[in-house]
Amino acid sequence: MISEKICILRTDLVPILRVKYDKDSFKDLFDTYYNPLCNFCYRFVENHTDAEDVVQDVFTSFWQKQDRIKIETDVKYYLFTSVRNKAIEYIRSKKRKMNLEDEMGRRSESSYTEEFMEENLIKELISNSVRQLPPKCRQIFVMSKVNGLTYVEIADQLNLSTKTIENQMRRAFQILRKTLKVR
């Protein structure tokens, strides 16, 4: 049996089954990975516009060179690796100060890619679910976990008690676990 999990991510399966992406499945692939790839790329290029440019380039050339690309492992791993390589190339071509040479060396290791690929994909899944939280609950969650405010600061700003913030946060995590189907 093929589990539900695999069916959801069927856009990943295209290369495994040795078929080509058509326009629709390529759009799926794009929609699934664009945002986490941009966030991943931002770590390298440290500029949102550049991050988007690099990721868009990777998708464009992926589509154009589909016939010639052999995906050895997994399409998302391929995409993250391509973005990493292109980002490094991009930085070098911009001849930015390379006093971060050591840091870049570390970042170009594949374990770095694996680690942050997973992290970014999880963040993406959670962010998508956060959008489905009830408005007030979402606002509090974002203030806390995205903007980094303390419960006291949030309570102050929203004119609510700290207790309410705590309750809303607990509720947020309950809903997230439910939508993400995890315990």
Partner 1 sequence: MDKINKMKPETVTAEERAKLLQWKEEYSISAGSISQFLTNMESGEADLAGYSDYDAKKAWNAVSKNSGIKEDAKVIKPRFNWYSVAASVVILFLVGFGAQQFLFSGDQMYDQSFAAVEKINFPDGSLAQVDEGSAISYETSSFTQERALKLNGRAYFEVQSDERKSFTINTDKFNVQVLGTKFEVNTIDGFESVNVLEGKVRVFNQESEIFLTENERMTLTDGKFEIEKIAKQTNLLSWNKSTLVFNNAPISEMLSDISSHYNVNITLQGDNNLDCKHNTEFRKETLQSVLDEIALSFGATYEVSGKNITIQNIQCN
Interacting residues toward partner 1 by CB under 8 A: 1-3, 5-6, 9-10, 12-14, 16-17, 19, 22-27, 30-31, 34-35, 38-39, 42, 48, 51-52, 55-56, 59-61, 63-65, 73-74, 76-77, 93, 95, 118-127, 130, 145-148, 169, 173, 176-177, 180-183
CB 156, min distance to partner 1, A: 19
Select 48 or 159, whichever has its Cβ closest to partner 1.
48
Per-position DSSP letters for 135-163, written without gaps between them: HHHHHHHHHHHTS---HHHHHHHHT--HH
Q: Which is nearer to partner 1, 26 or 158 (CB)?
A: 26
Q: How many CA atoms lie within 13 A of 29 on its CB side?
A: 26
The full length of the chain comes to: 183
Q: How far is the CB of 100 from partner 1 (least distance, A)?
A: 18
**Which region holds residue 177: left if phi is over 0, alpha if psi is between -120 and 50, else beta?**
alpha
- CB closer to partner 1, 109 vs 118: 118
For residue 35, give every residue at least 6 positions away whose Cβ sits within 8 Å of its Cβ, in sequence order, or none. Answer: 124, 127
CB of 161 to partner 1, least distance (A): 20
Lookup result for tokens 């973005």: 83
Q: How far is the CB of 12 from partner 1 (least distance, A)?
A: 7
